[in-house]
């Protein structure tokens, strides 16, 4: 038998929000129906419940629903209580795993094919596609040959990618992963998925103006910070349940993305939404990577923490990710201050003996060295620095350029950035190190 997985995701890996698809693409549904028709479909309980009632069970297919609940009733479907159970039900037939996030992650090791629809949208999500290990999976087909299709609904762009097992004879690794180097560097959420996703990675996310700089200052002051996606309506409720304060906009006073406002706040727990840095951190944390908030302010502490982790676990890789910005139309905008911040961390890694870096990481380091004798001046001149200064936040620009002012590494554990001192980071394992 052959087990096949099929899903639709954004370039960031979002596959769902609130038990629903965050888009409607009829062309994707048509292809989904064409590929799965006549074959058993295996789905998790939540995916079953998310199907529009008129499509439950999916017609023309044996429906298998997975749940731990032995008493669960799914009219028209077979209920299985373990993946092995479900695989026994489908027997030697070709079967499709159709969702959701939990089942994809579990079923991936049994699969021979993965059909992915990439939906070109930036969407908040709470469920993610598993990251395909490039050592095992290789792209075998894609459609269209170049560029994108455009959907009849709102012109949303989408494309189809088929993955199969990489043949033994072709052990190549995608060059975009910057393997085999211990220190790698690429931009934004897409770059983070390439160089920093997965449980064998430390992802140092760098958003100098100002998310990770604010996290650095907060953690150095003993404040715990929970990153949230921008405009995520759940942030306020989460803050309340967690006895934390929700950061507001810069102009209203109180704690905000402005580092000074957080340091002065005297609070102990902060929920901090941000458009780029927080979203990148959360997206990458969902892949199992250890996420650290890097900035010019904490470059040395972050590098020392990473070096200590690498000393105990030589298989770990450090992916340094300048987060970048978005243009108003949503297009990605690399921002030079994040390149400098990434370079400051990479240079500090070099000082602490972690020298095996890709040329991309070296380019970031050189960019930093070019401004290292006057980071304040450089940051003031940068587009983002001028934008912030013109809005009246020139102090934040100066604070962001204060090299190694903060002596702890903010490490994301269970949804919160907490300051870690580098000593004992290795001994303590992931998320380890002494609390500052
Ligand atoms: C979503 C629907 C959502 C809303 C209305 C109708 C890829 C998808 C899935 C799973 C889409 C959904 C539908 C109409 C056609 C029906 C199925 C339900 C049919 C996946 N690429 N896209 N999915 N559908 N695993 N992978 O659940 O569906 O097939 O007969």
Residues 257 and 296 occupy one common structural domain: yes
Contact 313, 172 (CB under 8 A): no
Q: Separation of 71 CA from ligand 1 center, angstroms?
A: 26
Residues 269 and 380 occupy one common structural domain: yes
Asked whether the predicted pLDDT for residue 94 surpasses 60, the reply is: yes
pLDDT of residue 134: 73
Q: Separation of 255 CA from ligand 1 center, angstroms?
A: 42
For 114, residues 6+ apart whose C-beta sits below 8 A from its C-beta are: 4, 5, 6, 7, 108, 132, 137, 162, 163
205-229 residue pLDDT tens: 999 999 999 999 999 999 999 999 8
Contact 272, 211 (CB under 8 A): yes
From the list 199, 190, 385, 417, the residue with the least C-alpha distance to 301 is 417
Residues 145 and 238 occupy one common structural domain: no
The residue range of the domain holding 276 is: 183-428
How far lies 26's CA from each of 9, 14, 32, 56, 151, in Å?
Answer: 15, 18, 10, 18, 8
- Residue scoring higher pLDDT (131 or 320): 320
Give mean pLDDT, residues 402-410. 96
pLDDT of residue 242: 92
**Cβ 97 under 6 angstroms from ligand 1:** no
Residues 384 and 266 occupy one common structural domain: yes
Where does 81-182 show beta strands of DSSP type E? 95-99, 111-119, 127-128, 137-143, 149-150, 157-165
Q: Is residue 435 part of a domain?
A: no
Residues 381 and 255 occupy one common structural domain: yes
339-378 residue pLDDT tens: 999 999 999 999 999 999 999 999 999 999 999 999 999 9
Q: Is residue 325 part of a domain?
A: yes
Residues 166 and 204 occupy one common structural domain: no
Asked whether the predicted pLDDT for residue 170 surpasses 90, the reply is: no
User: From the alpha carbon of 58, which atom of ligand 1 is closest?
Assistant: 30
Asked whether the predicted pLDDT for residue 436 surpasses 80, the reply is: no
User: Which CATH number does the domain housing residue 29 bear?
Assistant: 3.40.430.10
Across all residues in the chain, what is the average pLDDT? Answer: 92
Q: Is residue 62 part of a domain?
A: yes
Q: In DSSP terms, which residues pair with 115 in a beta bridge?
A: 6, 162
Asked whether the predicted pLDDT for residue 381 surpasses 90, the reply is: yes
Contact 170, 105 (CB under 8 A): no
Domain boundary residue, one of 111, 144, 172: 172
Alpha-carbon torsion angle 352, 356, 357, 359, nearest 10: 130
Q: Separation of 42 CA from ligand 1 center, angstroms?
A: 13
Domain boundary residue, one of 107, 140, 172: 172
Share of the chain above pLDDT 70, in %: 96
The pair phi, psi for residue 133, each rounded to 5°, is: -70, 120
305-336 residue pLDDT tens: 999 999 888 889 999 999 999 888 888 999 99
Asked whether the predicted pLDDT for residue 140 surpasses 90, the reply is: yes
pLDDT of residue 171: 61
pLDDT band at 253 (very low <50, low <70, confident <90, very high): confident
**Cβ 171 under 6 angstroms from ligand 1:** no
- Rounded to whole angstroms, the Cα distance separating 161 from 115 reads 6
Q: How open is the CA angle 219-131-171, to the nearest 5 degrees?
A: 120
Asked whether the predicted pLDDT for residue 236 surpasses 80, the reply is: yes
Q: Poorest-confidence range of 19-33, 85-99, 134-148?
A: 134-148
**DSSP letter (8 states) at residue 116:** E
Where does 200-275 show beta strands of DSSP type E? 201-206, 224-229, 245-246, 269-274
pLDDT of residue 430: 56
**Cβ 23 under 6 angstroms from ligand 1:** no
End-to-end CA distance of the chain: 53
Give mean pLDDT, residues 389-403. 96
Residue having the nearest C-alpha atom to atom 30 of ligand 1: 33
- Rounded to whole angstroms, the Cα distance separating 139 from 152 reads 27
pLDDT of residue 56: 97
Residues 217 and 342 occupy one common structural domain: yes
Alpha-carbon torsion angle 305, 344, 198, 167, nearest 10: -130
Asked whether the predicted pLDDT for residue 11 surpasses 90, the reply is: no
Query: Beta 78-80 vs 63-66: how paired, if at all?
Result: parallel
Q: Is residue 433 part of a domain?
A: no
Contact 224, 268 (CB under 8 A): yes
276-299 residue pLDDT tens: 899 999 989 988 899 999 999 999
Helix, strand and coil content of the chain, in percent to the nearest 5, comes to 35, 25, 40
Residues 140 and 202 occupy one common structural domain: no
pLDDT band at 424 (very low <50, low <70, confident <90, very high): low
Q: Is residue 434 part of a domain?
A: no
Residues 264 and 286 occupy one common structural domain: yes
Give mean pLDDT, residues 412-430. 78
Q: Separation of 213 CA from ligand 1 center, angstroms?
A: 41
Contacts of range 42-45, beta carbons closer than 8 Å, 24 or more positions apart: 42/66, 42/80, 42/86, 42/90, 42/95, 42/96, 42/97, 42/98, 42/103, 42/107, 43/97, 43/98, 43/99, 43/100, 43/103, 44/99, 44/100, 44/102, 44/103, 45/69, 45/72, 45/74
pLDDT of residue 397: 97
Q: Is residue 253 part of a domain?
A: yes
18-70 residue pLDDT tens: 999 999 999 999 999 999 999 999 999 999 999 999 999 999 999 999 999 99
Q: Poorest-confidence range of 39-48, 62-71, 149-158, 165-174?
A: 165-174
101-125 residue pLDDT tens: 999 999 999 999 999 999 999 888 8
**Cβ 7 under 6 angstroms from ligand 1:** yes
Domain boundary residue, one of 172, 196, 216: 172
Share of the chain above pLDDT 90, in %: 75
Domain count, the chain: 2
Q: Is residue 107 part of a domain?
A: yes
User: Which CATH number does the domain housing residue 407 bear?
Assistant: 3.90.1560.10
Asked whether the predicted pLDDT for residue 175 surpasses 90, the reply is: no
Asked whether the predicted pLDDT for residue 418 surpasses 70, the reply is: yes
Q: Is residue 101 part of a domain?
A: yes
Residues 137 and 207 occupy one common structural domain: no
**Cβ 32 under 6 angstroms from ligand 1:** yes
Q: In DSSP terms, which residues pair with 221 in a beta bridge?
A: none
Residues 65 and 121 occupy one common structural domain: yes
pLDDT of residue 177: 80
pLDDT of residue 67: 97
Residues 187 and 162 occupy one common structural domain: no
């Amino acid at each position: 038998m052959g087990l096949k997985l099929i899903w639709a995701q954004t370039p960031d890996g979002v596959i769902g929000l609130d038990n629903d698809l965050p888009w409607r693409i009829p062309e994707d549904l048509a292809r989904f129906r064409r590929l799965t028709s006549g074959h058993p479909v295996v789905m998790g309980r939540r995916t079953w419940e998310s199907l529009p009632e008129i499509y439950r069970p999916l017609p023309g297919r044996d429906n298998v629903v997975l749940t731990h609940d032995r008493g669960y009733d799914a009219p028209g479907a077979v209920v299985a209580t373990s993946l092995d159970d479900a695989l026994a039900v489908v027997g030697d037939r070709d079967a499709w795993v159709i969702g959701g996030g939990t089942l994809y992650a579990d079923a991936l090791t049994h699969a021979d094919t993965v059909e992915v629809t990439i939906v070109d949208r930036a969407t908040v999500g709470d469920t993610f596609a598993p990251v395909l290990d490039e050592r095992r999976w290789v792209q075998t087909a894609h459609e269209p040959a170049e560029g994108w299709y455009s959907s009849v609904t709102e012109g949303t762009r989408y494309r189809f990618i088929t993955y199969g097992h990489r043949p033994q004879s072709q052990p190549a690794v995608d060059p975009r992963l910057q393997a085999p180097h211990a220190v790698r560097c690429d931009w934004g959420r897409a770059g983070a998925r390439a160089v920093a996703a997965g449980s064998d990675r430390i992802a140092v996310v760098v958003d100098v103006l100002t998310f990770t700089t604010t996290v650095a200052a907060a953690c150095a002051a003993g404040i715990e910070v929970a990153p949230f996606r921008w405009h995520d309506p759940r942030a306020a409720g989460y803050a309340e349940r967690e006895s934390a304060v929700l950061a507001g906009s810069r102009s209203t006073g109180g704690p905000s993305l402005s580092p000074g406002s957080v340091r002065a706040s005297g609070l102990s727990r902060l929920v901090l939404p941000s458009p780029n840095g927080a979203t990148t951190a959360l997206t990458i944390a969902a892949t199992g990577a250890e996420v650290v908030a890097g900035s010019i302010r904490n470059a040395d502490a972050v590098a020392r923490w990473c070096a200590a982790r690498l000393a105990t676990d030589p298989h770990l890789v450090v992916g340094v990710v300048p987060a970048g910005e978005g243009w108003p139309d949503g297009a990605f905008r690399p921002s030079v201050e994040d390149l400098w911040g990434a370079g400051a961390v990479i240079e500090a890694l070099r000082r602490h003996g972690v020298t095996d870096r890709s040329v991309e990481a070296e380019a970031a380091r050189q960019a930093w060295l070019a401004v290292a004798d006057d980071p304040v001046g450089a940051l003031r001149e940068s587009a983002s620095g001028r934008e912030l200064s013109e809005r009246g936040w020139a102090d934040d620009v100066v604070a962001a350029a204060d090299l190694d002012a903060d002596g702890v590494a903010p490490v994301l554990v269970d949804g919160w950035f907490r300051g870690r001192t580098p000593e004992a980071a290795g001994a303590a394992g992931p998320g380890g190190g002494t609390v500052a």
